Amino acid sequence: MKINRLIRTSTFQLAIIYMALFATSVFILLGFIYWATAGYMADQTDETIEAEVLGLAEQYQRHGLNGLVSVIRERVARDPNGKSVYLFTARNRVKLAGNLDQWPVEVLSKESLSEEGWLNFVLEKENSPWNVDRLVRGKIFVVHGELSLLVGRDIQELMTVKKLIERALSWGMGITLAFALMGGVMMTRSMARRIEMFNVTSQRIMNGNLALRIPTKGTHDDFDQLAANLNMMLDRIVQLMEGIRHVSDNIAHDLKTPLTRLRNQLETTLLMVKEPEAKEEVGKALAEADQMLATFNALLRIARLESGGKLTHVSEVDVSALVLDAVEFYEVLAEEKEQRLELSVAPDVQVNGDRDLLFQAISNLIDNAIKYTPAHGTIKVEVETVGVQVIIRVLDSGIGIPESEREKVFQRFYRVAKSRSEPGNGLGLSLVSAIVSLHEGRIALSDADPGLCVELTLSQVSHIPMRRRLNGKQSSSA
């Protein structure tokens, strides 16, 4: 299925909404984890610094400036490679104690050191006890208004851990989203495929292939149930249609006899009446009756051909000659309408079939072509062989048949809206179709641009000499 069509499906839209919800909850969850870990660690650092500062402040209060200096020195000495950073300077920034030699750049850039507060800074390795650049978080105090104290802790590791957590979380988020998207697409696809199957099949059924049914998977899931129900509905429709057809055939059958009697009475009446006007009227009634009888006959004939399922009088038929005969028979009608008949008939093409039925089919097509082509139009009749197939084409330059109606014109009594004004009973193409399927051929309608192209495909009688066939040089398809 194409991706843009996939996106339009309701299943996919649902999947997307679900994914958004899912992503939001994952995001919240991961955000909480991040906040809980990284935040906790940062708080820990701050608390440690606060505690140290508190301790130093206590020393200062107890032992004064010297006490503070000695405590700082002591702490530095006790843990030279520790994580704590101290710097105690006098007003002129002369170092009094601590393991830093000078104030970090971030602080120096400030106007004075009188500002208290938190800061993060990078400690270059030249300037630090550890020989590597470290990130440090510290707090600056002003003691006595002129002495500045910086107490900090190395947070390099913390930062690394934080970065790790961040990376893990963003990866997790990405992977989750990717999985959700893939899952969504896959879920949608399988759903959409089944729905598509429903749509395609019902489309084909609506186009006249009534024998088709929607395939089930045998899983008895809700889709299967839907398919089963639709199929049952279709069976019912087909039954009803069969019923209607049966009824119409029966009506034709039962009405034919009384209609024939009526016709015969009209005939008798026609012989009896003497006034020309009355004769005229009875004659019209006779023509009407004949028209009705012709319709019934056609209907019954189609019914018989469709139910028969087998040809009874098969012989080798020269299609080329037959088509030329049909053209010759109908030519006079084309001449009346001043239409051009163009022929392109390959000679000597043979098929196995019923000569009269084939003639009926072809003459129906030519008759239609003449009927639906306007005056001065063109009608083409073509016979050609393609491999083992015989193609018979009748093209007209009339109004054509809209694509949506092409399947329907084979139904009994179906008439394209534009052609209702023309004489006819809407059975011509049904009859052609029945004859063609009896001959195991195909009929296809296409656009002749303008007009309609009807194409019959039949099987050619192979003209391979017996000897060669026996030698097995011929493929079995010939």
Instruction: By CB under 8 A, tell whether 257 contacts other proteins.
Output: yes
Q: At what angle do helices 276-308 and 428-438 cross, to 10 degrees?
A: 30
User: 120 or 260: whose CB is closer to other proteins?
Assistant: 260
User: 29, 41, 333, 461: which one contacts other proteins (CB under 8 A)?
Assistant: 333
Instruction: By CB under 8 A, tell whether 371 contacts other proteins.
Output: yes
d(CA 415, CA 407): 12
User: 295 or 350: whose CB is closer to other proteins?
Assistant: 295
User: CB within 8 A of 60, min separation 6: which ones?
Assistant: 67, 68, 143
Q: Are strands 117-123 and 389-396 parallel, antiparallel or unpaired?
A: unpaired
Instruction: By CB under 8 A, tell whether 355 contacts other proteins.
Output: yes
d(CA 112, CA 332): 117
Task: State the minimum distance, in angstroms, from the CB of residue 286 to other proteins.
Answer: 4
Instruction: By CB under 8 A, tell whether 338 contacts other proteins.
Output: no
User: 199 or 297: whose CB is closer to other proteins?
Assistant: 297
d(CA 410, CA 428): 8
User: 85 or 432: whose CB is closer to other proteins?
Assistant: 432
User: 117 or 276: whose CB is closer to other proteins?
Assistant: 276
- Interface of this chain with other proteins, residues 105 to 134, rule: CB under 8 A: none
- Interface of this chain with other proteins, residues 408 to 437, rule: CB under 8 A: 423-424, 428
Q: What is the total residue count of the chain? A: 478
Which DSSP symbol is given to 39?
A: I
d(CA 341, CA 381): 8
Task: State the minimum distance, in angstroms, from the CB of residue 452 to other proteins.
Answer: 16
d(CA 148, CA 139): 10
Task: State the minimum distance, in angstroms, from the CB of residue 360 to other proteins.
Answer: 4
Instruction: By CB under 8 A, tell whether 218 contacts other proteins.
Output: no
User: 95 or 340: whose CB is closer to other proteins?
Assistant: 340
Contact between 151 and 49 (Cβ < 8 Å): yes
Instruction: By CB under 8 A, tell whether 442 contacts other proteins.
Output: no
Contact between 383 and 422 (Cβ < 8 Å): no
- Interface of this chain with other proteins, residues 259 to 318, rule: CB under 8 A: 259-261, 263-264, 266-267, 270, 279, 282-283, 286-287, 290, 294, 297-298, 300-301, 304, 312-313
Q: In what order do the strands lie in the sheet with 378-386?
A: 340-345, 378-386, 389-396, 452-459, 442-447
Contact between 417 and 402 (Cβ < 8 Å): no
Task: State the minimum distance, in angstroms, from the CB of residue 275 to other proteins.
Answer: 14
Instruction: By CB under 8 A, tell whether 359 contacts other proteins.
Output: yes
Instruction: By CB under 8 A, tell whether 336 contacts other proteins.
Output: yes
Instruction: By CB under 8 A, tell whether 360 contacts other proteins.
Output: yes
Which DSSP symbol is given to 343?
A: E
User: 364, 373, 378, 397: which one contacts other proteins (CB under 8 A)?
Assistant: 364
177's tokens: 């989203």
User: 73 or 256: whose CB is closer to other proteins?
Assistant: 256
Instruction: By CB under 8 A, tell whether 14 contacts other proteins.
Output: no
Backbone φ and ψ of 12, nearest 5°? -65, -40
Task: State the minimum distance, in angstroms, from the CB of residue 241 to other proteins.
Answer: 23
Number of residues that bind other proteins (CB under 8 A): 45
User: 133, 306, 367, 455: which one contacts other proteins (CB under 8 A)?
Assistant: 367
Beta strands in 92-175 (DSSP E): 95-98, 117-123, 134-143, 147-154
CA 101 to chain centroid: 72
Instruction: By CB under 8 A, tell whether 374 contacts other proteins.
Output: no
Q: At what angle do helices 222-272 and 156-206 cross, to 10 degrees?
A: 20
Contact between 376 and 343 (Cβ < 8 Å): no
Residues in contact with other proteins by CB under 8 A are 253, 256-257, 259-261, 263-264, 266-267, 270, 279, 282-283, 286-287, 290, 294, 297-298, 300-301, 304, 312-313, 325, 328-330, 332-333, 336, 354-356, 359-360, 363-364, 367-368, 371, 423-424, 428
